[in-house]
Amino acid sequence: MKFTGRLALSAAAGVFALAGATHLLAHGDVTPQPVDTTALPDIQPNNDTWLQHNPYRGNAKAIEIGQHAYAQNCARCHGIDAISGGIAPDLRYLELGDSGDEWFVQRYHHGSVRDGKVYMPPMGEILGQKAGWAIRAWLETVHEE
């Protein structure tokens, strides 16, 4: 699925702001856990300009941070060790390399809202880009065909 443009993206973000707020209040377990990424190099030109490809691919420190960040922020929906119990897609099957990165960052950054329902919160807006690429670096180490 592709968004048709900026308008669609901001509309989706607006829906999340409304629907998400109640959801977050109702379920304390969805509180995101901050991820300490100070050990990782900053993203160029800056951490708020979203890249399409993972600058940390294969970076051992990023993989370590990513594994922990995943367990704290993604596992409750996507499953422990990325083995999905069926609530959300199994992220071990995401394509490796650049094309997998593009899809990963789209979902991580913006989440997923369909028919006004929040399927996935915009985790990237909450945890930041460095944490996202660290998680992606770890996910590639547990990839399955």
- Residue 129 interacts with ligand HEC (CB under 6 A): yes or no: no
* CA end-to-end span of the chain: 21
Tokens of 41: 């190099």
Note whether 74 binds ligand HEC by CB under 6 A.
yes
Nearest CB to ligand HEC, comparing residues 45 and 86: 86
Q: In the bound complex, what is the minimum distance in angstroms from residue 136's beta carbon to ligand HEC?
A: 7
- Total residues binding ligand HEC (CB under 6 A): 19
Figure out which of the listed residues 62, 63, 135, 137 binds ligand HEC, where binding follows CB under 6 A.
135
Contact flag: residue 13 with ligand HEC (CB under 6 A): no
| Closest C-alpha to 43, from 140, 133, 141, 138 | 133
Give the C-alpha distances (Å, rounded to integers) separating 64 from 28, 31, 45, 57.
26, 22, 24, 12
92 part of the interface to ligand HEC, by CB under 6 A: no
Other beta carbons less than 10 A from residue 42's beta carbon: 12
Q: What is the Cα–Cα distance from 101 to 93, expressed in whole angstroms?
A: 12
| Least distance CB 23 / ligand HEC (angstroms) | 8
Residue ranges binding ligand HEC (CB under 6 A): 30, 73-74, 76-78, 88-89, 91, 94, 104, 107-108, 112, 114, 119-120, 123, 135
